Amino acid sequence: MPLFSLLLSVGGIKRKLCKSRVLLSGDSAGFVDSFCGEGIAYAIRSGQLAADAVSLKLHNNINLVKNYENLCNQEFLHNLKYSYYLSWLIHRFPNIFLKIFTQHAIVIDRYLEVPALKDTYKNYIKWILSRVPGFLLKSV
Ligand SMILES: Cc1cc2nc3c(=O)[nH]c(=O)nc-3n(C[C@H](O)[C@H](O)[C@H](O)COP(=O)(O)OP(=O)(O)OC[C@H]3O[C@@H](n4cnc5c(N)ncnc54)[C@H](O)[C@@H]3O)c2cc1C
């Protein structure tokens, strides 16, 4: 859980993604997974989406700012915001969550479904929060 990703990533500081002649992508836009620090895939994909948005503006006069934001939202922004919330929880309550993560293998196994794109951070957070009391009772 790199701390730099908490400062960089979406979900924390609110920022503009684009103006009429400037589009931010990758780290500059905050497209980083706050929990695992992954940013390469989002940098590549947001660059592709920025190119798509510029092309649609040039050929079909579609609103650049709104279109780029929508494209990023549809593909990954929502999930990245929840990666920020999970990191926030762990940094805010390390005694609880580090215990759970280190003592219950299922917590890690279940998390691995998120980077494998089989589940979302939102579902994972719901899943883990509803089990915190049970995990703590079973912890040593
Ligand atoms: C230590 C570390 C480990 C990481 N490990 C992983 C990992 O394992 N997996 C993963 O997915 N992500 C990882 N990341 C995150 C990942 O590296 C970034 O999210 C990703 O590289 C962002 O790509 P980018 O193109 O947005 O920015 P960058 O890769 O930072 O590219 C920005 C480029 O702009 C150049 N530049 C800056 N200012 C100017 C200027 N004024 N004029 C011209 N050029 C300029 C810079 O030199 C740089 O080459 C890691 C990050 C760090 C710091």
Q: In this structure, are 1 and 68 located in the same domain?
A: yes
- The DSSP bridge partners found for residue 57 are none
Residue 110, token pair as written in the block? 């279940």
99 and 61 within one domain:
no
Minimum CA distance residue for ligand 1 atom 48: 27
Distance from the alpha carbon of residue 137 to the mean position of ligand 1, in angstroms: 42
Reported as a single tens digit per residue, the pLDDT across 108-133 is 999 999 999 899 999 999 999 999 99
In which domain, by residue range, is 67 found? Answer: 1-76
The total of structural domains in the chain comes to 2
73 CB neighbour count, 10 Å cutoff? 12
Three-state DSSP class for residue 23: strand
Residue 128 Cβ inside 6 Å of ligand 1? The answer reads no
What is the spatial distance between Cα 137 and Cα 7, in angstroms, rounded to a whole number? Answer: 33
Instruction: State whether the beta carbon of 40 lies less than 6 angstroms from ligand 1.
Output: yes
Residue 87 maps to a domain: no
Mean pLDDT of the chain: 89
* Tokens standing for residue 26: 């990758």
pLDDT in tens, 25-80: 999 999 999 999 899 999 999 999 999 999 999 999 998 888 999 999 899 998 99
* E strand map for the chain: 18-19, 22-23
Global pTM value: 0.88
Pocket test for ligand 1, best of 35, 40, 42 (most atoms within 8 A of CB): 40
Tokens (6 digits) for 71: 């494209």
